[in-house]
């Protein structure tokens, strides 16, 4: 069945075809329409194969896989976590790497 066309629509289309087209010509028209749809499906499939071949030749799949595997970085979350860690260390008077470095320079 065609996407987006339900049973009622098919009945209406069939009635309209019978009314406006001679019932003797109807099989020929339906056969021609079926061949046209089949050819369109073949062209779409051929186009997909061609696009996939081009993607394989250019290495687009490798790029796609690299992008998928790459970890997305949420800078806002990382900055927030970093600031919160610094605040917690300062509250607990724990020396962190930045404070040690600053103390060495000041000495």
Same domain as 30, residue 51: yes
pLDDT at 93 over 70: no
Q: Percent of the chain having pLDDT more than 70? A: 77
Same domain as 38, residue 85: no
Same domain as 56, residue 84: no
- The range of the structural domain enclosing residue 49 comes to 7-69
pLDDT, mean over the chain: 79
Same domain as 86, residue 35: no
Same domain as 96, residue 58: no
Q: Model pTM?
A: 0.46
What HEC string does the chain produce? CCCCCCHHHHHHHHHHHHHHCCCCCHHHHHHHHHHHHHHHHHHHHHHHHHHHHHHHHHCHHHHHHHHHHCCCCCHHHHHHHHHHHHHHHHHCCCCCHHHHHHHHHHC
Per-residue pLDDT at 43:
95
Question: In this predicted structure, which of 30-34, 37-41, 80-84 has the lowest mean pLDDT?
Answer: 80-84
């Amino acid at each position: 069945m065609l996407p987006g066309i339900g049973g009622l629509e098919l009945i209406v289309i069939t009635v309209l075809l019978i009314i406006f087209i001679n019932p003797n010509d109807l099989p020929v028209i339906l056969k021609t329409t079926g061949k046209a749809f089949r050819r369109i499906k073949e062209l779409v499939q051929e186009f997909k194969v061609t696009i996939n071949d081009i993607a394989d030749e250019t290495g687009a799949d490798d790029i796609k896989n690299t992008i998928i595997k790459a970890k997305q970085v949420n800078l806002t979350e990382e900055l927030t976590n970093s600031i919160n860690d610094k605040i917690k260390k300062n509250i607990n008077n724990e020396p962190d790497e930045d404070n040690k470095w600053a103390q060495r320079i000041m000495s």
